[in-house]
Amino acid sequence: MKILITGGAGYIGSVLTPTLLAQGYDVTVLDNFMFRQNSLADCCQYEGFQVVRGDCRDEAVVKELLSDADVIIPLAALVGAPLCQKDKISTQTTNFEAVKMLCSLASNDQRILMPVTNSGYGIGEAGKFCTEDTPLRPISLYGVTKVEAEKAVLERENSITFRLATVFGMSSRMRIDLLVNDFVYRAVHDRAILVFEGHFKRNYIHIRDVAKVFLHGIKNFEKMQGKPYNVGLEDANLSKLELCEEIKKHLPKFVYIEAPIGEDPDKRDYIVSNARILNTGFEPEWSLNRGIKELIKGYTILRNSLYSNI
Give pLDDT tens digits for 96-140. 999 999 999 999 999 999 999 998 999 988 889 999 999 999 989
CA–CA dist 7, 10 (Å, integer): 6
* Section 225-233 average pLDDT: 98
What per-residue confidence (pLDDT) applies to 307? 67
Q: pLDDT > 90: what percent of the chain?
A: 90
b/e code 120-130 from CB counts within 10 Å (16+ = b): bbbebeeeebb
CATH of 2-237+250-256+263-298, one of 3.40.50.2300, 3.30.930.10, 3.40.50.720, 3.40.50.2000: 3.40.50.720
HSE-CB of 310 using CA atoms within 13 angstroms: 13
Q: Per-domain residue ranges for the chain?
A: 2-237+250-256+263-298
List strand residue ranges (DSSP E) for the chain, in order. Answer: 2-6, 26-31, 49-53, 71-74, 111-117, 129-130, 159-164, 166-168, 192-195, 201-206, 228-231, 237-239, 255-258, 271-272
Confidence band for 12, pLDDT divided at 50, 70 and 90: very high
Contact residues for 73 (Cβ-Cβ < 8 A; gap 6+): 3, 4, 5, 6, 8, 16, 112, 113, 114, 115, 214
pLDDT of residue 305: 63
In this structure, the chain runs to a length of 310
- Parallel, antiparallel or unpaired: strands 228-231 and 159-164: parallel
